[in-house]
């Protein structure tokens, strides 16, 4: 059984909040490539 529309919206919102948090951390430490990679992976999940 798949996820409902409400569950999908919640999942998307939580991913967006995590992206915002990581972007703030990336601004403080722009040389950290692992944060950049994680942001890109999460953005790909939202696009799907």
**pLDDT tens profile 32-47:** 899 999 999 999 988 8
Contact 46/14 with Cβ under 8 angstroms?
no
pLDDT for 1 equals 66
Cα gap 18→5, rounded to integer Å: 20
Q: Which residue has the tokens 């919640």?
A: 10
pLDDT at 26 over 70: yes
Domains held by the chain: number: 1
Contact 19/42 with Cβ under 8 angstroms?
yes
**pLDDT tens profile 1-24:** 678 899 989 999 999 999 999 999
Range of the domain at 11: 5-47
Q: Which residues contact 36 (CB under 8 A, 6 or more apart)?
A: 26
């Amino acid at each position: 059984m798949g996820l409902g529309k409400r569950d999908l919206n919640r999942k998307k919102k939580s991913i967006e909040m995590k992206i915002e948090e990581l972007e703030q951390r990336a601004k403080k430490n722009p040389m950290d490539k692992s944060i950049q990679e994680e942001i890109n992976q999460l953005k790909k999940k939202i696009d799907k």
